[in-house]
A and B are shown apart, each in its own frame.
Chain A
Amino acid sequence: MADPTILFAAFLNGLTQGAVYALIALGLTLIYGVLHIINFAHGAALMVALYGVYYLFTGLGIDPFLALPIVMGAMFALGYALQRFVIGRASHGRDENILLVTLGLAIVMENVALYVFRADTRTIETAYAFATVDILGALVAIPKLAALGGALAMAAALFLLITRTDLGRAIRAVAKERQGARLVGIDVDHVFAMSFGIGFACLGAAACFLMPAYYVNPTVGSGFVLIAFTTVVLGGMGSFGGALAGGFVVGIAESFGGLAGIALGAGENMGQLAIFTIFIAVLLFRPQGLFGART
């Protein structure tokens, strides 16, 4: 059990899985940081993006990694429209309402997908899906390594966008003081919708990295919702670095939890259990997150 090769492999597996969680969480934390709302439809939107990647590959033969700009663009448009025309209008500015509306959106997306695509679980077969590299005796799947690189690149891009561009400045202004931002001429509703769109675009990227090594079915998103929230809460709501670090912690905790579960004969379920236990514990004892100390 204590074989270091197995432990190291579990660590690497957790790290790469965590990168995908981090990507999903980056979108969520941006939306939270700016709008101070919890987007419950995040998992369902990921599911939509995964179907997009699936059909681009099976229908048009577009490789998931080449589909990146298409899926990101489409998801951006979806997120922008949803915030602008559905969530923003229905919420009446109350947090509970936003939560309920995004829950409603998640239900609609999942069940329309169930109606259209049926409950079948689908996978795609790329030439490189099972290609692995040997890192110090541990085999790591290449698509997962690509996801790791993609997550880091995406976090860097988001950081630049927020700190270096006019849009980023506007987003930060709205996040801090929306009334004041409106007074100096920032179109707050537009900034909200842009944040939502960018958050959804991150999901699009995550879907492209995820699909070669994963699967899609109408309820695949619900498994990611709590994981994404765990990641965001762990890293401190609204913090990009935190989301990145939180993703890795969650991925590694899941990997080792699953390993411990198998060792104890309780099955791989223990990995998920580890995640949710972390989630409850962090919310109870350190709601500002492990790395966040603000406000």
Chain B
Amino acid sequence: MRSLAGVAAFAVATALVPAFVTSGAVLNAVILTLYAVLLGQAWNVLGGYGGQFSFGHAVFFGTGGYVMAVLQIRYGLSAWLAMPAAIGAGAAVGALVGALTFRYGLRGSYFALVTLAFAEVFRILANTFAFTGAGVGLMLPLADTPAQLQFGSRAGYLYLILGFVLAGFAVHLWLGHSRFGARLTAVRDNEASASALGVNVFRVKLGAIMISGALMAAGGVFYIQYLHYLDPAIAYGPAVSVEALLVPIVGGMGTLFGPLLGAVALHALSEGTRNLFGDAPGISLALYGVVLIVMVRYMPRGLIGLFARRGR
């Protein structure tokens, strides 16, 4: 119940932000932080709760973004119809990657590498075919009407991404209270004993990667609606994959509020470095790398470990 109350408080507080804040830059920062929360939540389902570290979550993100863009641009489909298709496509790619890798028992470092290879394959394919705009990318025409999931104000986008993040929270709450969640963490903690106790390891992992893929695809949907442009390097490049894994690792893997905490901390950090160094290329990402190493070295449980009560 306490966790539910926490999520509700977060939802109300965030929903009230546009009522008090009018600065476009601040709203944009809030929106991008929420977007990072969503990516982190997606990775957390598979990596945090399931213990399967993916280095190529961009494969789901890019698929969601491209399906969303292509259905609207090439087929004139309404954004509201394209959205479920895009999210479903993310789950489908999750099923494909999961069915191949988990069937053959790939784990640990091998799983990380294969997911990265899948993202690369998709990037090259998107770069090759005219269908996806090839190297030029796709531009989503401005519509500025909620009927096309586009908004004249930043507040509209804030509510869209907040909706996705709350869906992510719902998944996390469900993982914390359901049989599926219990099986998933059992597989993470000890695959052999989970299997011996009758858990169908393959199906549990497959379910986790599909949910993870769907959430990540929602991130892609938001990206194209908010920024109106997508190319293969953005969609399937390593930057998105790194952000998705860094957020929960910094905040606390396998926890309800880890992604939120991690996204806020990372965005505060990158805002801080931007103030210090200006927009020098590379500095904020280099700092992300340092943060990753420092977190693994000194705080493997993430920032949330600071709040955890002792003796638990």
List of A residues within 8 angstroms of B114 by Cβ: 279-280, 283-284
Do B297 and A285 have beta carbons less than 8 Å apart? no
Stretch from A91-99, A171-179, A187-195 that touches the partner: A91-99
B242 and A101 contact, CB distance less than 8 A:
no
Task: Give the total of B residues in contact with A, Cβ under 8 Å.
Answer: 40
**CB distance B108 to A95 under 8 Å?**
yes
Contacts of A273 in B (CB 8 A): 121, 124-125, 128
B290 and A108 contact, CB distance less than 8 A:
yes
Instruction: Give the secondary structure class of B's interface.
Output: helix
Instruction: Give A243-291 interface residues, CB cut-off 8 Å to B.
Output: 266-267, 269-270, 272-273, 276-277, 279-280, 283-285, 287
Is A19 in contact with chain B by the CB < 8 A criterion?
no
Contact assessment for A107 and B108 in the assembled complex, using a CB-CB cutoff below 8 Å: no
User: Does B160 make an interface contact (CB < 8 A)?
Assistant: no
The verdict on B305 contacting chain A, using a C-beta distance below 8 Å, is: no
**Does B234 sit within 8 A of A, measured CB to CB?**
no
The answer, among B121, B128, B290, for a CB contact under 8 Å with A277, is B121
Q: What is the CA–CA distance of A283 and B100 in the complex, to the nearest angstrom?
A: 10
**B-contacting residues, A40-57, CB 8 Å:** 40
State the total of A-B contacts with C-beta under 8 angstroms.
Answer: 128
A216 to chain B, nearest CB (A): 15
A156: Cβ under 8 A from any B Cβ: no
Note all chain A residues with C-beta closer than 8 A to B280: 115
Q: Are A114 and B281 in contact (CB under 8 A)?
A: yes
- Interface membership of A105, Cβ < 8 A: yes
| B residues near A218, Cβ cutoff 8 Å | 282
Indicate whether A103 sits within 8 Å of B110 (C-beta atoms), given known contacts A118-B281, A269-B128, A273-B125.
no
User: Which residues of chain A come closer than 8 Å to B81, judged between CB atoms?
Assistant: none
Report Cα–Cα, A140/B96, bound state, in Å. 42
Q: In the complex, which residues of chain B have a beta carbon less than 8 angstroms from the beta carbon of A96? A: 53, 108-109
* Interchain CA distance A96-B242 in the complex, whole Å: 15
A113 at the A/B interface (Cβ < 8 Å)?
yes
Distance of A112 Cα from B287 Cα, bound (Å): 9
Q: Which of A38, A111, A233, A276 contacts B285 (CB 8 A)?
A: A111
- CB of A196 within 8 A of chain B? no
Residues of chain A contacted by B116 (CB below 8 angstroms)? 226
Contact with A along B229-253 (1 / 0, CB 8 A): 0000000001000100100010000
Instruction: Assess A107 versus B292: contact at CB under 8 Å? Given A267-B128, A284-B100.
Output: yes
Contact yes or no, B104 A285, CB < 8 A: yes
Residues of B that sit less than 8 Å from A by CB: 53, 55, 100-101, 104, 106, 108-110, 112-114, 116-118, 120-121, 124-125, 127-128, 238, 242, 245, 249, 280-283, 285-286, 288-293, 296-297, 300
Residues of A participating in the B interface, judged by any CB pair closer than 8 Å: 37-38, 40, 86, 89-92, 95-97, 99-101, 103-115, 118-119, 218, 222, 226, 229, 233, 266-267, 269-270, 272-273, 276-277, 279-280, 283-285, 287
